[in-house]
Amino acid sequence: MDQKIRGIFCDLLGEEKVLTEEPMSRHTTFRIGGPADYFLIPDTWEEIRAILKICDAQGIPFFILGNGSNLLVSDRGFSGAVIQLYRNMGELRVEGTRITASCGALLSAISAAARNASLTGLEFAGGIPGTLGGAVVMNAGAYGGEMKDVLTRVKVMTREGEILDLPACDLEMGYRTSIIKKAGYLVLEAEMELKEGDPEEIRRVMKDLMEQRSSKQPLEYPSAGSTFKRPEGYFAGKLIMDCGLRGHRVGGAQVSEKHCGFVINTGDATAEDVRRLMEYVSERVQKEFGVSLEPEIKFLGEF
C-alpha cells in the first residue's frame, strides 16, 4: 500500500470510503480472503470512471466486487484496488412492468420488488445471493430461469471509462457468460421487462423455490454457491457424489454432505484448503468419468 496513492483515492472519495489492508474475508460469502491494498466505495459513475483512470495511470490492478457471493480470495489477499459496487449503488425503481436497477442491487431485493408489484418473471432470482451487476455478467440463473429471459437493456462502462447502452440482443448471453464478461465491461445499470401476474401465485412460487433451496443447499455454512459449472450432459454434484466424495475434507474446506456441488467453509477454511479440495475433486471426476469440471467461482489474488 502506497500512502501517496491512498491520498489520491481519499481526495476523490473521502477518507471514509477508502480502506487499506482491508481483510477480504469480511466481504465474501465464503468468509475467506487476505487483505486488499485498497478497498474503494464509490457512490457515482463519475467516481468509478475517476478510479479507473487513477488505476490505469498508476499501474494498479483492480477488481469489481458486489457482495462477494461467487468469489474465492487468496490468503495473501489482493495487490491492487477492490472497487465495491454494492449497497452504495443499490437503487431500483419499478415503472409499470419495467424494473430498472443499479449494479449493486441484490437480486433478492429486485425479486421482492417485482413480487410486491405483482410482476412475474423474476421468481427464480429470489434466493440468489448476488448483485445485479454480477448476475448480468454471468447470466445468473436458477430453477429454469436466467437473467437473459428478462433483460432488455444494460448500461456498462468500458475499462477506458466510456459508457455504452447495450440492448439485450447484443449481450450474447449464454450459460454463465455474456459479451460483458468477454469484453471486461463494468455493469452500471440494467433494465428488465416483466409481466403482470397473480400476486398470490408469485408468492407461492417464490416460497416454494426458497423451501427447495433451503432443503437442498448448505445455506447454514459459508460458501460461494455452486463450486463448478454444470458439464454438458451431466450434473457436477452427482459426479462428485458418485466418486464417493460427499463430506470429503481438506483442512476446513469440505464437500457439502447436503449437496455435493458445494464446497463449504466449516469454520476455519483457508483459500488454499478450498483450492486443494477443488483440485482433488476435479482430478477424481476426470479419472472416474473422463469429465472436466470447470470452476464456477472466481479466484482473486495469487494461489
By annotation, the residues acting in catalysis are 176, 226, 296
67 Cβ contact partners less than 8 Å away, ≥ 6 residues apart: 27, 29, 86, 106, 129, 130, 131
**Best CA proximity match to 285, nearest among 251, 253, 255, 250:** 255
The three-class DSSP label of residue 197 is: coil
- Cα angle: 212, vertex 213, 216; to 5 degrees: 80
For strands 98-102 and 18-23, give the pairing: unpaired
**Best CA proximity match to 291, nearest among 215, 247, 235:** 235
Q: Indicate the burial class of 232 (C-beta count within 10 angstroms; 0-12, 13-18, 19 or more).
A: exposed
Question: Do 113 and 94 meet the contact criterion of CB atoms below 8 Å apart?
Answer: yes
